[in-house]
Structure 1
């Protein structure tokens, strides 16, 4: 049985993306713990504001590596894979839509929580935190789809020469 720290794919380019998923998932778990606090515990307005500030900081920090990762996918990986499986319909279209959906949930959360959080009611805080929870859910499923569908296809369908070129382009830090 494979443990969570082992990488599943063999091609260096795909391993880079898979490893980035692991790192992003680790960061997501940290901020998702705060989302779960809001779902499971009744908290005071003061505690809600304190937790919101912490959540906002963690999500803001998370967005930097997430953006670098999705930019690499959108710029290099998806177009290359699209040359093999098509770009107009199928799994790539769905993945690109999910990138926009994730940006939407996180953008909505960040927009409604920017500025002075002392002006937000507990209900407004809880509504904003729901967007962060939705982003977590979409991201979790999104990573699974990429790994179980797109990465599998890429491993078997992309030529060795294209894998090598892709690896060179993807071999950059997201942190």
Structure 2
């Protein structure tokens, strides 16, 4: 099933749209990590401060998105796919892995605080790069496998329930 030909239900379209927005944010913070890697001097610390703000805002948006999946879509899919299917378990693991990279970034930056220097900025930025990589692969899996499967196996009533859950 080609994704461009799928007519998405409202809750799955919402998740797809959120991926677009999250990807745009990820691209911006990834580009900032590249600037940090290739710059030198005091400018690196200033760039890192901007990156820190970007990652902080992104982490909040990602948590809201993940919550919709973990509390709405994933439990429904688990019921339908059965206990032996590991699809949702894999998705949840990837969420945890990406969130851990972001948390490591924020924690290490917080530990350094005002003492952060160019070297610190460069090595701490690697956590943001790891989050970007994990989420890029994760979003692709959801869009190519999970969402089309959900569109196919969820009933109209289940999709309506998801839509109600997403409004909360």
| TM-score scaled by length of structure 2 | 0.90
Please tell me whether the aligned partners of residues 16 and 171 of structure 1 are also in contact (alpha carbons under 8 angstroms): no
Please tell me whether the aligned partners of residues 44 and 121 of structure 2 are also in contact (alpha carbons under 8 angstroms): yes
Q: Deviations over 1:59-97 (max 9, x none)?
A: 111111111110111001100111111355421111100
Query: Structure 1: any 5+ residue segments left out of the alignment?
Result: none
Within the candidate set 69, 75, 79, 2:75 is matched to: 79
Q: Greater share of helix residues, 1 or 2?
A: 2
User: Where does 1:22-171 land on structure 2 (aligned, <5 Å)?
Assistant: 22-39=20-37, 41-44=38-41, 46-87=42-83, 89-114=85-110, 117-171=113-167
How far 1:118 moved relative to its partner? 3.7
Note closer, same or farther for the CA distance 1:171–1:88 as it changes in structure 2 (3 Å cut).
farther
CA RMSD across the alignment: 2.0
| Whole-angstrom distance in 2 between the partners of 1:72 and 1:7 | 24
Query: Structure 2: any 5+ residue segments left out of the alignment?
Result: none
Note closer, same or farther for the CA distance 1:38–1:87 as it changes in structure 2 (3 Å cut).
farther
Note closer, same or farther for the CA distance 1:116–1:54 as it changes in structure 2 (3 Å cut).
same
- Structure 1 segments (4+ residues) deviating >3 Å: 6-9, 115-118
Note closer, same or farther for the CA distance 1:9–1:26 as it changes in structure 2 (3 Å cut).
farther
Note closer, same or farther for the CA distance 1:7–1:18 as it changes in structure 2 (3 Å cut).
farther
How far 1:9 moved relative to its partner? 4.3
